[in-house]
């Protein structure tokens, strides 16, 4: 048994929130793919491309609406995953801790993204298909404090959890694996998945996970050659 306090810490995901419109009667959509267009941009005060907005042309099982989803690509908040019992069958506790950053920057960037989405939705290219706002209301969208509360209540994850076995030097108490994904202090054990990312990528995580796997496979082949 090796005591590594970083295990389960540093949980990061891409928080998202959305503006949803009701479709006008008679508007039809292509059932597949539901996402065809994406915008990448940098939030105000930022130095990196840290935001995404993409249009969802329908929600399966909830026809009659469409949405612009705002996704925060470089959040500051950190969560954790841990066990509350020694029972091997017990489910872990997952605490995303979204919007827990001290300066409130995560909420602010999503709020501004929702306001940008509203302006985009008012453009004739989109407005021609909308019967009206479904959520949030126009009143909420016009009030920063109310919209911040909406983000906190309705923000969700993007199925991109990373970071709970983060890569770093042995001198870092939060690090779990080294640069070759070998667990510190445990011979013959590696972790090779999204959990080794010390920071979340500013993109969907699938390709990064493939790259991690390919790279470590190459390292192992080299060791055994």
User: Where do the domains of the chain lie?
Assistant: 14-159, 162-221
Residue 111 to residue 153: CA distance in whole angstroms: 12
Contacts of 224 (CB under 8 A, 6+ apart): none
Active site residues: 160
Residue 9 to residue 14: CA distance in whole angstroms: 16
Q: What is the pTM of this model?
A: 0.90
Bridge partners of 18, per DSSP, are: 69
For 33-89, what is each residue's pLDDT tens digit? Answer: 677 788 999 999 888 899 999 998 876 666 788 899 999 999 999 999 999 888 989
pLDDT of 146 strictly over 90: yes
Q: What percent of the chain has pLDDT over 70?
A: 96
CB-count exposure of residue 184 (10 Å: 0-12, 13-18, 19+): middle
CATH code given to domain 14-159: 3.30.560.10
More confident residue, 104 or 65: 104
Half-sphere exposure of 198 (CA within 13 A, CB side): 12
């Amino acid at each position: 048994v090796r005591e590594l306090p970083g295990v389960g810490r540093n949980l990061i995901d891409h928080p998202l929130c959305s503006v949803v419109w009701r479709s006008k009667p008679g508007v039809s959509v292509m059932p597949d793919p539901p996402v065809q267009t994406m915008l990448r941009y940098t939030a105000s005060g930022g130095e990196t491309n840290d935001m995404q907005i993409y249009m969802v042309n329908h929600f399966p099982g909830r026809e009659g609406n469409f949405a612009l989803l705002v996704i925060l690509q470089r959040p500051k908040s950190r969560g954790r995953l841990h066990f509350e019992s020694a029972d091997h069958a017990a489910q872990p506790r997952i605490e995303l801790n979204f919007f827990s950053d001290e300066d409130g920057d995560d909420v602010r960037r999503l709020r501004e993204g929702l306001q940008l989405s509203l302006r985009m939705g008012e453009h004739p290219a989109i407005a021609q298909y909308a019967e009206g706002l479904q959520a949030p209301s126009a009143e909420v969208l016009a009030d920063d404090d109310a919209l911040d509360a909406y983000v906190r209540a309705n923000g969700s994850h993007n199925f991109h959890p990373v970071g709970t076995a983060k890569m770093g030097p042995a001198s870092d108490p939060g690090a779990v694996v080294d640069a070759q994904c070998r667990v510190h202090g445990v011979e013959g054990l590696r972790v090779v998945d999204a959990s080794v990312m010390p920071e979340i990528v500013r993109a969907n995580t699938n390709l990064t996970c493939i790259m991690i796997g390919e790279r470590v496979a190459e390292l192992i082949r080299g060791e055994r050659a």
